[in-house]
Structures are given as C-alpha cells and as structure tokens.
Amino acid sequence: MSNSSEIIGKSNQSKNIIIYSIIGVVFLIALWLSSQSDGPSKFPKVVTDEFTFTAWVNEGEDFLKKNYRWITKIIASYIKACYYFVEDFLLESPWLLIAAIFFLPCIIAGGLKLGLYSLFVVYFWGATGMWEPSLQTVALMGLSVLLCVFFGFILGVLCSQSDRFENFMKPVLDTMQVMPAFVYLFPALFFFGIGGAPAILATMIYAMPPIIRLTNTGIRQVPAQTIESATSFGSNKLQLLFKIKIPLSLPSIMMGINQVIMMALALVVLACFIGAEGIGGQVWQAIRRLDVGWAMEGGLCILFMAIMFDRFSSAFSKTEERLPSDAQKFYLLPQEWSKYQLARILEKPLMTAHNIIKYICVFTTNLIAYFIKLLISIFNKIFAEDISEYISKRYYIIPSFIVCLIIVAVDTYFIKIGSFPEEWRLSIRQPITNAVESLTVNPGFIAFTKSLRAFVYLNLLRPLDTFLTHIPWWYTMAVFVALGYITVGIRFAIITALLLSFIGACGIWSHSMITLSSVLVSVAICFAIGVPLGIIASYNERFRNIQNVVLDAMQTLPYFCYLIPVLMFFGGGIVSAVLATVIYSIPPIIRLTSLGLTQVSGTYSEVSRSFGGTLIQTLNKVKFPLAVPSLVIGFNQTVIMAFAMQIVTPLIGGKGLGLEVFNGLARSDTGRGLAAGIGIVLLAIIIDRITLAYTKKQRQALGL
Amino acid sequence: MKLTKTISALFLSLVLLIGSLGQANAAKRLHAAIADWTGGIITCEVAVAILEREYGYKVKQTVFPSGTGLWEAIAAGELDFACESWPSYAEADSVMLNEDLIYEGKVVGSYSGDGSVDLLGTSGIIGLSDYWIPRYAAEKFGIKTWKDLNKHKKEFATIETGNRGRLIGCPVAGWNCHDQKRLDLLGIDFQADELGTEAAAIAEAKAAYMRKEPFMLYLWSPHWFFGEFDMVGVQLPEHAVCDPDTFTEAGNWKDCGTKGWPATGWAKDYTMNYGNPAVFAKAEHADAKKFFENMSLQNIDQAKMLVEVDIKKRDVKEVVAEWLDNNPDKWKPWLK
C-alpha cells in the first residue's frame, strides 16, 4: 500500500516537472511573440469585415421594433398598471399603515427581534428622507420577485421533469447570470418603455435563475424511497409531483426565493438608468453631486432592507406561525447579559408589554372565532368548527387585520396621518462626508494610495495589458483551446475555439484582452489579500464573525456607493477600476478559504500536530491541499464577479469590453453593446468551465 | 400552510383595496424627464413649476440620465418633454430634430432629421466649455493661456501619462468632445483621459483641489463646481462656424482649424427643450407649447440657484419656488 503510493508520488513529481516546464515554454514563446509584434494583435480584416454581427443585431432590433412592439407594449402596460397600483398604494397610505405592514409579518414569522429590527428599518427610511424612494424600490422588487417566483417555479418544475429541457436551460441560466444587465437594460427600454415595466422585466432576467435551479434540484433530490412508496400506494405522476415532490422540496424552493429577493434588490438599483424610480435614483443623484454621505445613506437603506427581507424569508420558511411570546422567555440582548441589572431593567417592561399584547390578541381572536363559528354554524356545523379552530390557532391574523383597519379608519375619518413625519429626520450624511474628506487630504493616506496606484499600474496592469494585447490572437486562442482540451475534453475545446473566434470576428479582440488583464490583476490582488484573511478567520472565530458581517454588507451594498470614495482616494482610471473590482469580488475568496480550512476535519490537523508538524507545516502540507476544491470554487466565483464588475468600471475610467458596452449604448448601437456584452460572458464561461473541471480532477485525486 | 397563505394573500389584497380608494383627480398631465445634472434639474424645475402654477398642469417627473435613451423615449411617447439638451453633446439631435433653433430671433442652428422629436425652443441657457486649472496652480506656475501649458506639463503628469501632462477630459465618449485631437492640434503635450462619467471626473478634480495639487479639467459652465472651487480657464481659441462647403470630417478639419472643429459647438452651446411632436400638437397643450417657445432662463439665474442647491444643499423645489416668487419680472414675459 505504502509502496504504491510512493510510486504515485514519484510519478506525480516527475509529471509536475513536465507540466511546469511546458507552462514555462508556452509562456516564453508568448513573451517572445508579444515582443516581436509592434502593435496590438488584430483579427484578420477579411473576417471582421465579413462578420458584421453588430449590423445584424441592429437590423434585427429594428425589425422587432417595427413589427412586434405592439405586443411588448401590451405586456408593458399590464406590468405598469400593476406597478402603479402597488406604488400608489404604498406612497399614499399613512406611514403607520406601511410600518404595520412590515412590522406585523416580521414579528409573526421571526419573533420580536425581527419585528423590532423591521421597525428600525422603516424608521431609517423615513429618518434619512428616503421614504418614497424606499417604498418605490420595495414595490419594484416585490413585483419582480412575484413574477420571478411564478415563472421560475413553473420552469423549475419543467426542468425537473425532463432531462432534455434541463440540459437546454443550463447554458441559458448561465448566460442570464453572467450577462451584464446593462446590455439588456437599454433594449428593454426601447421595447417596454421607461420606468417600472422594463425595470421589472430586466430584473426578472437577472434574478430568475436561482429559483429555477433550486426548484429543479429540490424536486430531483426527493428520496427515491418516498417516491417509491407513493407510487406503490397508487399515485399517478401528477399526484406524485404535487402531493409529494413539491411539498418535500419546499425548503429548497424557499431558499431560491430568498436568493431571488437579494438579486432583485441588487438590480433594481441599476434600473435608475432607465427611469425607474427608487433608491437607485437617489444614490445616482448623490454620486453626481459627489455627496458620499447621501450615497451611503441610500446604500444603507438598501442594505437594511435586504437584511430584513433575507431574515424574514428564511424565518418564514423555517417556522410554523406562532405568536412571538410563545417562545418561552424573550431576550432582546444576549442571554448572558441578564446578570446585569441594566439589561434586566430594560427587558422587563418589554416583556410585560409583550404579555399584555399577547393576551389581547388571543382574547380578540378567540372572541371573533367564536362569533364566526356561531354565524357559520347556521349553515354548516362541521365547517364552522374547522374554521373557528383554524382562526383561534392563529392568533395573528385577526389582530393584524384590526390594527390595519384601525390605522386606515383613523387616517380617513379623524386625523390625516400622511407620510413619514419630517420632525423625525436624522441624518448621518455629514459625518460620513467629513470622514471621507479628511482622508482625502490626509498626506500619509494619500502617499499610500499614490504608491499603491503606481505599483499596480507600473508592475501589474501595464505589463500585462501590453503582453496580452500584443500576443498574436491565434497563439492566445491555441493556449485556451489546449487548456480546454486538457481539463475538460475535446468537445469543450472545439466550443472554446468557436467562442473565441466569435470574439475575434466581432472585432473586439484587443478590448477583450484588456478586460482579461484587468480581471486577472483584480483576481490576483483578491487572492493576495483574501487568502490570508481567510486563514486568520479559520483560526479565530470572533474575527470570522465580524468578517462575515462586513462581507455580507459588502455584497449587499450597491457598488455605486463606494465608487466615489475610491475615486477621491485614487483618482480616475484603470487602477481605480481594478480596485473597485477587488472590493466587489473579494468576498467569495475570503469566505471559501476560511470555509475550506475549517472544514478540514480536526483529526487531520491533530494527527499532523502529533507527528510534530508546526502550525505552518500543518497549514501548508495538510490543510491547504485538502481545502483546494473549496479554494478553487472561491477563486471561480471571484473571477465571475470580477467579470460582472467589468460592466460598471467604465463609470470610473475602466477600459476594455465594459467601455465598449457603454459606448455602444451611448450611441444607441445595441449591436455593438451586445457584442461586447457577449464577449464578457464568453470569457467568463470559458474560465469558469476550465477552473471547475480542474477542481473536479483535484477532488477525485483527493478521493473527496 | 396553504390556507395560511391564501388568507395572507386575501389580507394583503384587502389592505391594497382600502388604500387605493380615494385617489383619482383629473388635471392636464405631462410627463417630464428630469436631467441628472443639477443645472438641468433646475432648468426643468423652473419649467415644471411654471406649468403647474400658471397653467394648472400636473407634471409627473422621472429622473432620467441624459443620453440617447432619453431621445428615444420621447420619440416613442414614453416621456412628453425634456429640458436643456446641449446640442454639442447629443448626436440624436441631428437625427431626430427637423427645425431651426432660434435664440432671440436669430437662427443659431438648424437640423434636418426625421422630426420624430419636436424642438420646443431654446431653454435660454448658453453653455460655455473650456479647460480649467485651479487658481493656485495658475498663479504658482504663471499660466495665463493654453500656450503656457507645455512649459509646466511635468507638473500635470501622473503615473499613467508618463512625461505628458494629464487632462481630466470630457468624460463620455458619446459626447463627441474630441479632446485628444484638439490637444494635438493646438500642440499641447497632454493626454486626455476619459473617465466615463461626469461624477468620476469631478470627484477626482475635487480631491485634487482639496489636496492643492495641480490638475487640468474639462468642464462647462454654468456648473456648481465653480461656485465651490476657484478655477481659471485656459482660454482656448474661440469657436467659429466652419464653412460647410469645404468642411469634411475626414480630411479638412485641419483647414478649419480648432475654430470650427472638433464640432462640439465649442464655445457657445445654445441649449434647448424638446418634446414629443404628437403631444404638443394637441390643442390642450397649445399653452404649454407657447410657453416653451418663450422660455429663456439666463445663465446667471441658473448659476445663483446652483449655488443654493449644490453648495448650501437646499431642496431644488424650494430654491426654484423662491426664485419664482422673488423674480416675477424675469419669467412673467414667458407667459405671453
């Protein structure tokens, strides 16, 4: 046994040497080739002239616009009507009603903690003066999530029933997730008009994949025994699906809904570019005026909203409905704190109030249930029993109704409650702005940013840019195809060749190389910062907890918010673009490094330590090799996110394909924008597949 | 579970119904695009406020980033009008307008497009573009005009530009500013960087100003930046119209010199309001059409309001209402 592994070890070593030398040779040839050429490599002119993809797309778009616009207009008018209905309702209702609408479900599903949190969120919207935009964002997000869940669920069920359909949907879903939203945001404008309707439809494209995927996997993962027993009891296919499979996959579906909500929120912010109102518009205006504080307030509104919906949807999917105070004793503060007098004093009245409310709720519910029972029992006794039992078991429905009705009645007949009171305003704009401005003029900090900028530009970006753009296109292509062949297989190699020729034929080869180089540099920096942070987090739990909160915030905060500080510290240009990309795409690598390292079971590291391995040795020789699959997934996600960010970086001076998308859209040249957008997608997909295949081999080699 | 959901849905829809009662009022309605830069917002707010005060309109306002999408949306009837388009920046105007642009009785521009967008008239604001450097830099290096720039180009250089100076250029390629060509023509050894958005350019300039570093910035006036920071123009050569018979973009721009081309309407930019032709052809909107023909907001008035809004951080609506209250003599003539 040990003998054979030794041989494998040896052959692996010699294999490694061969692989490294091949890589070295390939790289040296590339270096030589790129130093030989005197300008950026270009695809043969014959091909680019013949392959006028841009013009075809534009002709197609014109044709569609002329002939099918009436259909899209009808769809848009329905969606718009729904949107206006919800929006008008939210904006014209008294603010207390809105607060109640958020507060009641939250307290019912998630207990008092979530309820109080929801009150804080609603207060924050009002206090920062973003009451209306926040509600508009809620309306937009709510409608798109509703539509996403409806269509996504149907598509997911279809996927789970037919392998062929699933195989067809997989690349479509990949494309939907990676395709930069700007590419379809503007064509959506021409077909569906401005404002809510196109925003909702564009959001659907972006946010639907998770629910389709998770419905599909949820249904497919229903255990075979369950299905078998159901069939043996004589259920037919439809019964099996609706009575067994779908109910059993509900947790998975709920997780999908949760993700849909998060992604919809992310995109709704971008929709300000096509005239949709909401917080996105506020943040964008703040950025136009360089008001960092304002932008940050908008970002926090979104962040808090996202956390609220996230907690609510996960609480809703987990718990059966109950009155919050059912849960034994209530703790707002950490439980250990109850030894402090102050904490007890704070919690006592809350607890009492809680009990009183509970008592009132139960009492009214039972009372009303009794009356309903009396009323219905005139017609049907058994049904009446059922209904009354149902109602009295669920304390919250009736009181919630009553609270809302009271608010509405007071508003219409007694005092106009109106929108959020102005006097309660509280702004944190000025402190944030001041902090950023003091950093801007801080000499030490600026010296640091300047040297960082110089380092990144001179040592990483410029050499890599020239290197990649100067290598002849056929050589780069050959390397990619070879990589595809080695890691995945012949079919993928052919596909890679085709995809890369598409990029070349569209005449965006050098743009795509610039994009590739910015992505590579960003990912390298992410790696250099993220892996150490992940290692620290894997050893220190407190650090990990704090870090998780920060990472959550980084991922949910609209990336607009931190563009302005980056600009003020680093100046515009490609370095800032790279840094913004790093901020956006670093979370997965940190998370998955710490996850991978903590997951390595304790026995392994114990064994290594008992053999006298030092901390570094254990990390290096035992933990890291075992964590490689997790690391590569983190790397993979970081790459995808870095590609996605390429579409935003032109806003602060980024170059490459993202800039092409912008220039295309600025000139109403959908074809040009689409070609560049597809370019980004294709590059991302090729790299994604190659790295995933690499982990697969690694995983097999490790026997995981 | 299922029943709970049904009941929750019923509950929500009931609440929705209650809430939706008690709306519906009929007024003359228009849908305006509000620009995303403060000058444009103020111009539009002036127009909207007057339409609402004097003609009883109810104007729905949508913030809409300027660019081609805006013109398309107006042509498609999604929006009814937009304010203060800068002809030098829009390519759409030459494609979609089919009228003369008249300022104080004089024709200052003419278009022969397909007429899918209606030219309502000038907004009154005349844009002025230049390259600007902060006063402290101008005094330190003794830079009076653009001719002095080359001597101090090293001071304006950054890592990316190497030996050449850096111009924080016109941010959006779609605007057709042709900064680099102009610099080359004038023999200024600077490199123009497009930063993608106005916000990016201004953010960098603001940070540099706060650190008292030298920098050169492309900018137009009126702009709030000048209210907060002391900038000096480098006085580029004046704009002159090129002879259309001899002028072609490909070969002759050199003959025309820096005066007529790059065709940005370099020194003077008569901005305009524009709208959907079908909407403004309606009899009920005749008043509004007449008003837009007469409207003529002066640069100085906009600049005053800009300072109030952007530097004193006041609400746009409040500032415009105050201006309307205090200066009836300026806008009453537009109502004729």
On whether both A516 and A459 belong to a single domain, the answer is: yes
**What pLDDT was estimated at residue B323?**
94
Going by C-alpha positions, the residue among A342, A265, A343 that lies closest to residue A309 is: A265
Interatomic CA distance for residues A642 and A132, integer angstroms:
33
A206 touches chain B (CB under 8 A): no
Residue ranges in chain A modelled with pLDDT below 70:
1-12, 318-340, 392-396, 417-418, 601-602, 666-668, 697-704
Asked if A437's CB is within 8 angstroms of B173's CB, the reply is no
Answer yes or no: are the C-beta atoms of B45 and B35 closer than 8 Å: no
Looking at the structure, tell me whether residues A473 and A347 fall in a common domain.
no
The answer on A361 and A507 residing in a single domain is no
Query: Cβ contact (<8 Å) for A404 and B168?
Result: no
> In the beta sheet, which residues pair with residue A70?
none
Q: Tell me whether residue A408 is in a domain.
A: no
Q: How confident is residue B261, by pLDDT bands cut at 50, 70 and 90? A: very low
Cβ neighbours of A452 in B, within 8 Å? none
> Is any Cβ of chain B less than 8 angstroms from the Cβ of A254?
no
Report the run of H or E that residue B33 belongs to, with start and end. Answer: strand B28-34
Q: Find the farthest-apart pair of alpha carbons in chain A and give their distance in angstroms, rounded.
A: 95
Nearest to B79 among A194, A390, A574 (CB): A194
Distance CA A655, CA A651 (A): 10
| pLDDT at residue B324 greater than cutoff 90 | yes
CATH code 3.40.190.10 region(s) in chain B: 30-126+269-335
Q: CB burial class (10 A; 0-12, 13-18, 19+) of residue A696?
A: middle
* Predicted pLDDT of residue B307: 85
Q: Which residues of B touch A441 (CB under 8 A)?
A: 210-211
Task: List the single residue in B with minimal CA-CA distance to A282.
Answer: B63
Q: Give the domain-ending residue among A274, A294, A321.
A: A321
Residue A408 to residue B18, Cβ atoms within 8 A: yes
Cα-Cα end-to-end distance for chain B: 66
Put simply, whether A97 touches B (Cβ < 8 Å) is yes
Looking up tokens 């081609």 gives: B68
- A35 found inside a domain: no
Phi-psi region of B276 (alpha: psi -120 to 50; beta: other; left: phi over 0): beta
Residue of A nearest to B215 (CA): A571
Last residue within a domain, chosen from A371, A395, A419 = A395
Number of domains present in the structure of chain A: 3
Dist. CA A594–CA A606, nearest whole Å: 18
CA–CA separation, A139 and A144 (whole Å): 9
3-state secondary structure of B213: coil
pLDDT of residue B215: 92
Decide if A457 touches B, using CB distance below 8 A: yes
CATH number at residue A537: 1.10.3720.10
Q: Enumerate the residues of chain B whose CB falls inside 8 A of the CB of residue A88.
A: 20, 23
- Report d(CA A298, CA A432) in Å as an integer: 12
Does A295 lie in the same domain as A352? no
Predicted confidence at residue A394, as pLDDT, reads 67
Do B65 and A93 count as a contact with CB atoms less than 8 A apart? no
The dihedrals phi and psi of B167, each to the nearest 5 degrees, come to -105, 125
- DSSP letter, residue B244: T
Looking from the CA of A565 toward its CB, the CA atoms found within 13 Å total 20
CB A417 within 8 A of CB B28: no
How high is the pLDDT of residue B318? Answer: 92
**Spatial separation of the C-alpha atoms in residues A274 and A291, rounded to whole Å:** 22
A316 at interface of B, judged by CB pairs closer than 8 A: no
Closest partner residue to A194 (CB to CB) among B78, B168, B198 is: B78
Calpha distance A265→A259 (Å, rounded)? 10
Co-location of A468 and A605 in the same domain: yes
Task: Identify whether residues A211 and A117 lie together within a single domain.
Answer: yes
Cβ-based contacts of A322 with chain B (< 8 Å): none
CB contact under 8 A, A454 and B20: no
Q: Which residues of chain B are within 8 Å of residue A408 when distances are taken between CB atoms?
A: 15, 18-19
Q: What is the predicted ipTM? A: 0.75
Q: Which residue of B has its CA nearest to A445?
A: B211
Which chain A residues are closer than 8 Å to B36 by Cβ? Answer: 284-285, 288
How many angstroms from the chain centroid is the CA of residue A326? 35
- Full residue range of the structural domain in which residue A383 is found: 335-395
CB-CB neighbors (< 8 A) of A321 in chain B: 4
Closest Cβ–Cβ partner in A412, A440, A667 for B68: A667
Q: Is the dihedral of CA B186, B187, B193, B199 positive or negative?
A: negative
Alpha carbon of residue A211 to chain centroid? 13
Burial of A644 (0-12, 13-18, 19+ CB in 10 A): buried
Best mutation target among B29, B70, B78, B175 (most A Cβ atoms within 10 Å) is B78
With respect to residue A369, please indicate whether it lies within any of the assigned structural domains. Answer: yes
For residue B309, the model assigns a pLDDT of 86
Residue of A nearest to B192 (CA): A573
| CB pair distance less than 8 Å for B67 and A666 | yes
C-alpha A671/C-alpha B18 separation (Å) is 47
| Contact: B195, A277; criterion CB under 8 Å | no
Closest by Cβ to A88, choosing from B23, B197, B204: B23
Query: Quick one: tokens of A459?
Result: 């040592």
Structure tokens, A2:
């040990």
Domain B30-126+269-335 CATH superfamily: Periplasmic binding protein-like II (3.40.190.10)
Of B63, B69, B196, the CB nearest to A189: B69
- Are B210 and A458 inside 8 Å of each other by CB? no
Query: Hey, which residues does B126 pair with through a beta bridge?
Result: B270
- Cβ contact B160:B263 at 8 Å: no
B4 vs A572: CB contact, 8 Å cut-off? no
Min Cα–Cα distance to chain A from B331, Å: 27
Residues of B in contact with A98 (CB under 8 A): none
Specify whether A253 is located in the same domain as A358.
no
Verify whether the Cβ–Cβ distance B69 to A186 is below 8 Å: yes
What local confidence, expressed as pLDDT, does residue A12 receive?
67
Q: Chain A residue with minimal CA distance to B64?
A: A275
Find chain A residues with C-beta within 8 A of B8's C-beta. Answer: 105, 397
Does any CB of chain B come closer than 8 Å to the CB of residue A514?
no
Cβ separation B199–A288 shorter than 8 A = yes
The answer to the question of residue A506 being in a domain is yes
Query: From the CA of B332, how many Å to the nearest CA of chain A?
Result: 31
Kindly calculate the radius of gyration of chain A based on its CA atoms and give it in whole angstroms: 29
Average pLDDT over every residue of B103-122? 83
CB contacts < 8 A (A, B): 162
pLDDT of B222-256, one tens digit each?
Answer: 888 888 899 988 877 766 555 555 545 554 445 45
Same domain, A583 and A672: yes
Q: Which of B219, B215, B232 is nearest to B158 (CA)?
A: B215
Question: Nearest to residue B170, comparing CAs of B129, B206, B203?
Answer: B129
Which of B20, B72, B158 lies at the smallest CB-CB distance from A85? B20
Q: B246 is written with which tokens? A: 């001899």
Q: Write out chain A residues lying below 8 Å of B18, CB-based.
A: 404-405, 408
Cβ B125 vs Cβ B302: under 8 Å: yes
What whole-number distance in Å separates Cα of residue A531 and Cα of residue A594? 8
Calculate how close chain A gets to B104, using CA atoms only, in Å: 31
A437 domain residue, yes or no: no
Using the 3D structure, point to which of A395, A414, A444 is the last residue of a domain. Answer: A395
Q: Could you tell me where in chain B the CATH 3.40.190.100 domains are found?
A: 128-260
Task: Looking at the structure, tell me whether residues A222 and A305 fall in a common domain.
Answer: yes
Distance between B220 CA and the closest CA of chain A, angstroms: 15
The amino acid at B219: L
* Alpha carbons B72 and B66: distance in angstroms, whole number: 11
Among chain B residues, CA nearest to A194: B78
Predicted pLDDT of residue B50: 93
Say yes or no for a CB contact (<8 Å) between B159 and A453: yes
CB distance A569–B207 less than 8 Å? yes
Strand B57-63 vs strand B100-103: parallel, antiparallel, or unpaired? unpaired
Q: Which of A93, A195, A662 lies at the smallest CB-CB distance from B19?
A: A93
- Give burial (CB, 10 Å; 0-12/13-18/19+) of A594: buried
Would residue A429 count as lying in a domain? no
Which residues of chain B neighbour A291 with C-beta distances below 8 Å? 313
Q: Which of A275, A287, A663 has its CB closest to that of B174?
A: A663
- Which chain A residues are Cβ-neighbours of B192 within 8 angstroms? none
- Which of A88, A653, A667 comes nearest B196 by C-beta? A653
DSSP A539-588: H-HHHHHHHHHHHHHHHHS-THHHHHHHHHHH-SSHHHHHHHHHHHH-HH
A40: left (phi over 0), alpha (psi -120 to 50) or beta: beta
Q: Which residues of chain B does A573 touch, with a Cβ-Cβ cutoff of 8 Å? A: 160, 193, 195
Cβ A530 vs Cβ A593: under 8 Å: yes
What CATH architecture applies to the domain B128-260?
Answer: 3-Layer(aba) Sandwich (3.40)
Among B64, B158, B193, the residue with its CB nearest the CB of A194 is B64
C-alpha distances in Å from residue A218, one per residue of A178, A259, A398, A592? 23, 15, 34, 24
**Residue A15 CB partners (closer than 8 Å, separation 6+):** none
Which phi-psi region, left, alpha or beta, contains residue A681 (left: φ > 0; alpha: ψ -120 to 50)?
Answer: alpha
